Amino acid sequence: MFPLLYHAHHRLSNEDLPFWLGLASRYPGSVLELGCGTGRLLIPLLQAGHAVVGLDHDRDMLAALQSSLPPETRPALQLIQADFSAFHLERKFSSILLPCNTYSALNLDQRSRLLENVHRHLLPGGIFAASLPNPLQLRSLPPHAEAEVEQIFEHPLDGEPVQVSSAWEKNARTLRVFWHYDHLLPEGRVERTSVTSTHFLISPQDHLSEIHSAEFTTVEMLGDFDGSPFSADSPQLILLVSI
């Protein structure tokens, strides 16, 4: 059930899609999307004419994606179930994309292994791009926040409302976010699905040091999907990395 809720929730936030699609177009060739989930970005990439490999560790997410694929896009797609810090493919890519704030959910060892794998699978002159919430902004948040309703959308199976709320707990190293999906049923009953995500509060400079240690030669930092340069006040930290 969660993949359907995830897809219905996250397809409401598409303001970043032009950025990723533009990036893939500037680096023509095959695309590897890491953590492709239910296809919020992957399906538009396919519809734009790109040959795409989608990789995710979650079998249920991939099954939901497979069931929603437009038939005409399937010949240009390969789906792989794997941990994206431990994948081994017999090919290289013009662009490797890691959207949706996933990079900040990786610990030091996972980031190190991911960067090694990206280096191994990226063509010379290609691009690796990852987006994460600005860690400087996350560090400035209060230690905790109570759950508040942020969005309401229709349940993908019965059309009844689903309320999305989130709360968080923060310490010096991590921000843990608690997401609650409350399915409001007609008889007044509430069916709740909860998930937790953790973001590691790594400084931008430490991210740069890790990337250079993985033998990448060029790193650009953007602050938002409009292409503006990164600053302490930016909502995002977008890493553009090449060999």
Tell me, yes or no, whether 13 and 77 share the same domain: yes
Tell me, yes or no, whether 16 and 31 share the same domain: yes
Distance (Å) of CA 236 to CA 175, 195, 203, 218, 230 = 15, 22, 13, 19, 8
Tell me, yes or no, whether 8 and 128 share the same domain: yes
7 closest CA partner among 46, 50, 58: 58
The per-residue pLDDT for range 44-103, each reduced to its tens digit, is 999 999 999 999 999 999 999 988 888 887 788 899 999 988 899 989 999 999 999 999
- Domain holding 179, by residue range, is 138-200
Q: For residues 187 and 30, what is the distance between their CA atoms, to the nearest angstrom?
A: 49
Tell me, yes or no, whether 77 and 182 share the same domain: no
The per-residue pLDDT for range 138-161, each reduced to its tens digit, is 999 999 999 989 999 999 999 999
Q: For residues 221 and 229, what is the distance between their CA atoms, to the nearest angstrom?
A: 6
Tell me, yes or no, whether 43 and 118 share the same domain: yes
**Span 235-242, average pLDDT:** 97
Which DSSP symbol is given to 51?
-
Identity of the amino acid at 11:
R
DSSP H or E segment with residue 61? helix 59-68
Q: For residues 146 and 100, what is the distance between their CA atoms, to the nearest angstrom?
A: 23
79 phi/psi in degrees, rounded to 5: -110, 135
Tell me, yes or no, whether 115 and 216 share the same domain: yes
Q: For residues 218 and 211, what is the distance between their CA atoms, to the nearest angstrom?
A: 9
Tell me, yes or no, whether 41 and 105 share the same domain: yes
Residue 53's CATH number: 3.40.50.150
Tell me, yes or no, whether 18 and 83 share the same domain: yes
Is the pLDDT at 16 greater than 90? The verdict is: yes
Total domains present in the chain:
2
pLDDT of residue 85: 83
Is the pLDDT at 2 greater than 90? The verdict is: no
Tell me, yes or no, whether 168 and 143 share the same domain: yes
Q: Are 165 and 180 in contact (CB under 8 A)?
A: yes
177 pairs with which residues across the strands? 168, 197
Which DSSP symbol is given to 230?
P
Q: Who has greater pLDDT, 30 or 72?
A: 30
Domain end: 166, 184, 200, which one?
A: 200
**CB atoms closer than 10 angstroms to residue 149:** 11
172 phi/psi in degrees, rounded to 5: -70, -20
pLDDT of residue 240: 98
Tell me, yes or no, whether 219 and 128 share the same domain: yes
The per-residue pLDDT for range 191-202, each reduced to its tens digit, is 999 999 999 999
Tell me, yes or no, whether 85 and 100 share the same domain: yes
Q: For residues 142 and 180, what is the distance between their CA atoms, to the nearest angstrom?
A: 20
pLDDT of residue 228: 97
Tell me, yes or no, whether 233 and 189 share the same domain: no
Q: For residues 173 and 202, what is the distance between their CA atoms, to the nearest angstrom?
A: 8
pTM for the complete prediction?
Answer: 0.94
